[in-house]
Amino acid sequence: MRLFWELTKISFQRHLTYRAATVAGLVTNFFFGILRASIFVALYDLQTEVEGITLQGAITYAALGQALIGYLHMFSWFELMNTVYTGDIASDLLKPMNYFSFWLAQDVGRALVNFLLRGVTVMIGYAFLFDLYWPSGLTHISAIATSMVLSLLVSFSWRFLINLTSFWTPNALGILRFFFVLSWFFSGFLMPLRFYPDWVIRISYLLPFPHMMNTTMEVYLGVLQGPEIVLALLNQVLWIVGLVAAGQLVLRMGVRRLVILGG
């Protein structure tokens, strides 16, 4: 466990140094968030509440989405794939640490930096521009925090799993991109999932993506109440267990056939 936190710390420090990238990311988050919020304002027009989400809630949704992208890192992650192609994976596999934890530790460090520098800043910035919805009460806030941590775990274990396809194909980039496009839509990043027709919602919940973002947003906005929250969190846990187990299984199959060329 100490090894895990050491790796997290190193990754945290490494990501802290990417200052230019952080500032660029923030500027982008602000701009696109304002565009998305404008679209919500235009859609609501004279309506005050749609599917349990008020206009204020929808604007908060746009802000939250931008605040969480950096933290969740859902739309691109090719690091594990790259180590398979460069051969660096050989030394990573030899490390006295579970391979999944080895990457998870680093992702936690990355996520922490992005939560603090981008997530918090984005929310404070939007608070100046818009009248955002803020959660209140210890139970609500701890439910949000729990869901956020679970979101990261769903996001990471999914990214870990799909990166493993690089064991089987010499060019996994296209496959990974395809999956990242799906998560863009089905995670609820573009629109809250409950705005879609029922058949789209049903398809979404057959996939892991809603549990990466949509759930946390619904918990935050108070759309889910009491037992619904508990159920949603349990659902996230189930997906994590499933994805981690699948990751371990696929990894074991992949390692057996992995050939690393010397060099």
The distance of closest approach from Cβ of residue 170 to another protein in the complex, given in angstroms and rounded to an integer, is 10
Restricted to residues 42-81, the positions that interact with another protein (CB under 8 A) are 42-45, 47, 50-51
Among 105, 191, 219, 240, binds another protein (CB under 8 A): 191
Closest CA to 78 of 159, 154, 14, 158: 159
Which stretch, 24-32, 118-126, 143-151, 239-247, contacts another protein (CB under 8 A)? 24-32
Distance CA 117, CA 99 (A): 28
- DSSP label of 51: T
- Residue 167 within binding range of another protein, rule CB under 8 A: no
Q: Is the CB of residue 249 less than 8 Å from the CB of residue 78?
A: no
How many residues touch another protein under the rule CB under 8 A: the total is 36
Which stretch, 18-26, 131-139, 159-167, 240-248, contacts another protein (CB under 8 A)? 18-26
Draw the binding track, 237-256, toward another protein (x: CB under 8 A; -: no contact).
--------------------
Closer to another protein at the Cβ: 25 or 208? 25
Distance CA 164, CA 119 (A): 29
The distance of closest approach from Cβ of residue 255 to another protein in the complex, given in angstroms and rounded to an integer, is 25
Helices of type H across the chain: 2-16, 19-44, 55-72, 79-86, 89-94, 99-114, 120-129, 138-163, 173-186, 198-204, 214-221, 227-257
Restricted to residues 200-229, the positions that interact with another protein (CB under 8 A) are 200
Among 23, 124, 241, 253, binds another protein (CB under 8 A): 23
- Residue 34 within binding range of another protein, rule CB under 8 A: yes
For 222: left if phi > 0, alpha if psi spans -120 to 50, otherwise beta; the answer is left
Residues, the chain = 263
Q: Is the CB of residue 229 less than 8 Å from the CB of residue 140?
A: no
Q: Which residues bind another protein (CB under 8 A)?
A: 20-21, 23-25, 27-28, 31-32, 34-35, 38-39, 41-45, 47, 50-51, 171, 174-175, 177-178, 181-182, 184-185, 190-191, 195-197, 200
